[in-house]
Amino acid sequence: MSTAVLVLENGQVFRGLPFGAVGETLGEAVFCTAMTGYQETLTDPSYHRQIVVATAPQIGNTGWNDEDGESTGSAGSDSATGDSGKIWVAGYAVRNPTRRVSNWRATTSLEDELRRQEVVGIAGIDTRTLVRVLRDHGSMRAGIFSGAAVSTDDDLVSRVRNQPEMKGANLAGEVTTDTGYVVEPAAGTGSGGGEARFTVAALDLGIKTNTPRMFAQRGVQVHVLPSTVGLDAITDLKPDGVFLSNGPGDPATADATVELTRGVLGAGLPLFGICFGNQILGRALGRSTYKMKFGHRGINIPVIDHVTGTVSITAQNHGFALEGEAGEEFDTDFGRARVSHVCANDGTVEGVELLSGQAFSVQYHPEAAAGPHDAAYLFDKFVTLLEGGAAQGTRA
């Protein structure tokens, strides 16, 4: 039986069986603690260039379907046909792949889909030990090798170490939409059974399918725009507000997006950001970012709202974060701001906002619904902000 090898840059080697495509893949090894939602994880553009290690011991029970992907509109997928199934992870490492698919919506198995999309994976390894290594030593460069790609351990370690690090990686341009597209309000919303109540310009830094859908359910027409779009192209749409999406890579490399955000704030437009968008807004407000030891990737991470005292159970996927302390207030070029949310587990900044109410962002994913829906209210909060802007005539 053929073997597969997962190699870490610190020289540790894990031997198992091929899972998915056979070959070679390189990326940053990270772990996700979610017990469900592997299809959403694999198709999330935020995982671009990362090898995901699943902590759940059995993976693949519900197979693969045509509905739950999160990559519609991103480069390499077809937003016109609704193809949201592009897998963005560099590789996948699991303990025990299920032998039988059991779900009425499944169209194929997880392994068959990994093969079809040529995603190299590994199964049968001790993922508990691997995750402990990543927790103790931090996320690190890694590779999965199988078939003809397998070589001596020293050679494989050398290949792993010769790849670029995630710190300093500018990746949003690799996952963004090529030309942009529009998501119309859902039927039965708005003032005319689908007529747009508001228009939002959404900057696609790696946007997930469900985000425009959440806006559409609230009567918002969403113009999803490439990450390279300029301020003039945004203001030409005369939007009621601007949205900054999630995405992969190091926010310290996104200087152009930060300047665009500063332009949006200077124009007085309401702004809402999530995940990578939170880091971009934070940088636009003068904060710095840093690479976390192993990040937050899971669906049960508690976040404290320091304005209301509410704790939300959230879905997260990030390896970078903003500098700051819980409840901290600070001056910006756009007025006073504060750190609005922090992680209850480790105090990581999970949200910032302008005290004027014009802009706010969170580090987690309010569009995700892998169990709790605690954070969905943030879309309502943004719509309320749009209503206030429309009433005051601040539309660009």
Q: Which residues are catalytic?
A: 275, 365, 367
Rounded alpha-carbon distances, angstroms, from residue 350 to 177, 314, 342, 362 = 26, 10, 5, 5
Widest distance between CA atoms in the chain: 69
State the DSSP string of 173-209.
HHHS-SS-EEEPPPTT-TTTTS--SEEEEEE-SS--T
CA distance 138 to 135: 5
276 is in an annotated binding site: yes
Asked if residue 206 lies in contact with residue 175, where contact means CB atoms within 8 angstroms, the answer is yes
Which residue blocks in the chain are alpha helix, DSSP H? Answer: 38-42, 110-116, 127-137, 153-161, 172-175, 210-216, 231-236, 255-266, 276-284, 377-392
Q: Which DSSP symbol is given to 164?
A: P
Classify residue 268 by burial, with Cβ atoms within 10 Å: 0-12, 13-18, 19+. Answer: middle
Q: Are strands 198-203 and 58-59 parallel, antiparallel or unpaired?
A: unpaired
Rg (CA), the chain: 21
168 is in an annotated binding site: no
Asked if residue 95 lies in contact with residue 124, where contact means CB atoms within 8 angstroms, the answer is yes
Classify residue 360 by burial, with Cβ atoms within 10 Å: 0-12, 13-18, 19+. Answer: buried
Q: Are strands 13-20 and 50-54 parallel, antiparallel or unpaired?
A: unpaired
31 is in an annotated binding site: no
71 is in an annotated binding site: no
Of 46, 3, 4, give the one whose Cα is nearest residue 25: 4
Rounded alpha-carbon distances, angstroms, from residue 25 to 22, 108, 142, 260, 367 = 9, 23, 9, 34, 30
CA distance 268 to 246: 22
320 is in an annotated binding site: yes
10 is in an annotated binding site: no
CA distance 264 to 321: 22
Annotated binding site for L-glutamine: 46, 247, 249, 276, 279, 317, 319-320
Going by the annotation, the residues of the binding site are 46, 247, 249, 276, 279, 317, 319-320
